[in-house]
Amino acid sequence: MRPDFNKMELIPAIVQDYQTKEVLMLAYVNEEAYDQMLEMNQTVFYSRSRKKLWHKGEESGHFQDIKGMYLDCDLDTLLIYVKQTGVACHTGAYSCFFNEVQSYDARDIFRELEKTIADRRVHPVEKSYTNYLLNEGVDKICKKVGEEASETIIAAKNNDKEELVGEISDLLFHTFVLMNDRGVSLDDIENRLKERHQVTGNKKEFHTRGDY
């Protein structure tokens, strides 16, 4: 399936971070740029000001590796999921959309938590609880996961939502530390869950007794 370039010579392309789903930029694509993207698996746009093709990152090194690409219902708008190297915006901002008109917290807290824990491993912080756990090793981390799991069960049995929310949050944090320690990423978990759910688009097909 291809964009309908007979309808529009230039079509808009919305670029999103494939992990956080943050919108990074909006650019335009003609048929030649589209074909080059398919061949290179990196974003290529048409610069309306310079009137020529523009391979994103060819000058800055901030390439966008394409992870997925979708057309809208009218075949005249592209949605591109990318792995962003460096930043997307020429100003040095990660995303071009940083001028706030109406506030909205679009952070992916799980991705941020994963990145924070990974950063603590590389750049330790004095008196950091995360660094304490990482330094103690897998036995200590597993003990904490077990304790938090037990406290989560108790909170659920107590029928106290606020307590349960707090305990689940603690359990998730310690699980993320364990994942980092054992080299497991959120991508690993997401991919396994997708396999189990047999996800096709937005439809979930359940085939076997073992599937979620």
Averaged pLDDT, 2-28:
95
Higher-scoring residue by pLDDT: 204, 79: 79
Report pLDDT for 10: 97
Q: How far apart are CA 132 and CA 178, in angstroms?
A: 13
pLDDT tens-digit map of 31-87: 999 999 999 999 999 999 999 999 999 999 999 999 999 999 999 999 999 999 999
Per-residue pLDDT for 180 more than 80?
Answer: yes
DSSP 202: T
To the question of pTM greater than 0.85 for the whole model, the response is no
DSSP string covering 40-67, please? Answer: HSB-EEEETTTTEEEETTTTTS--EEEE
In the three-class reduction of DSSP (H, G, I as helix; E, B as strand; rest coil), residue 94 is classed as coil
